[in-house]
Amino acid sequence: MNRFAFFALVLAGVSWGLGFPLGKLVLRETDAAHMVLLRFATAAIVAAPFALMTAEARALFCSPVVLLAGALYGIAFMVQFEGLAHVSVTLAALLVGAMPALIAISARFFGEKVSRASWAGVIAATLGAALIAGKPDGAGSPLGVALSLASLLVFLAWLIVLRRAPKVEATMAIPAVTVIVAAATILPIAFLMHGPPKLDLSPVAWASIVGQGVVATLLATAAWQYGSARVGAASAGVFINIEPLMGAAIGVMLFGDHLTLALCAGGLLIVAGSFAVVMGEGKAAEAAQEPT
């Protein structure tokens, strides 16, 4: 068992989960597009040495697959945090719990076998997302819910494209290039939407931006790519659920989000369904490897 890979996946889930509460702090002083731009600009500055250090890493800037992955990654975060501007931290975090179910559905389209247990989990997670979306109970608007769910589809596209990325020796090369390309993608979109970003933010906002850029973006991306490349897809999918649990817990404890019956029931369905999906896929993979 690759314990370090699993540790990396835990680190990725926790780091991504921190992005919701930190983002909410920044959204008090600026708009979502500028917040995401400043977040990725910070991440790109830290990532630059890893992306430019070797010829192998620099060559990734000419890879259509890596360029597309980076662009999708940046757009996904823009859509997600436009949604966060209209929903609570808890609601946005819980909706991410539908991601493993979406991965299972995409796997089926790509010819991978999906077990009955996994399909049951897909149905449960979908019902949970529908329950939250249909009755946010003051935790957000329908627009915010729609944007949050739409961002999951873009993240799913990013994961699919990332599977085709070229193999390189340097662990940080692809995450670093991905983040820089994402920042370059976000820059013109943010300027077209709102013009140049506001820079006279409070120390709390800037600290949150740095935390988002370094921890919730670059570190999370690198940890996920490292861990998911060394364990099965089903095992990696389990750790996606750390992100919504982390974000929801912080939202309730620190932001005063009200955990309503609809949010609680929907969140439990999403998390339970997602675990059923990934565990079902794990059993299916083991069965496929058994000699006949």
Cα separation of 171 and 262, whole Å? 41
Cα dihedral 191, 216, 223, 47 sign = positive
Q: With contact defined as beta carbons under 8 Å apart, do 163 and 103 qualify?
A: no
Q: With contact defined as beta carbons under 8 Å apart, do 6 and 223 qualify?
A: no
**pLDDT band for position 229 (50/70/90)?**
confident
SS3 87: strand
The mean pLDDT of 28-50, rounded to a whole number, is 95
Q: Which residues of 115-127 are buried (b: 16+ CB within 10 A; e: fewer)?
A: bebbbebbebbbe
Tens of pLDDT along 131-182? 665 555 555 567 777 888 888 889 889 988 988 899 898 889 999 999 999 9
**pLDDT band for position 211 (50/70/90)?**
very high
Q: Which domain holds residue 27?
A: 3-287
- Residue 236 within a domain: yes
- Residue 292 within a domain: no
Q: How far is CA 277 from the centre of its chain?
A: 18
- Residue 183 within a domain: yes
- Residue 206 within a domain: yes
Phi, psi of 196 (to 5 degrees): -65, 150
Q: What is the pTM of this model?
A: 0.78
- Residue 90 within a domain: yes
Task: Give the count of beta carbons closer than 10 Å to the beta carbon of residue 33.
Answer: 20
**Number of structural domains in the chain:** 1
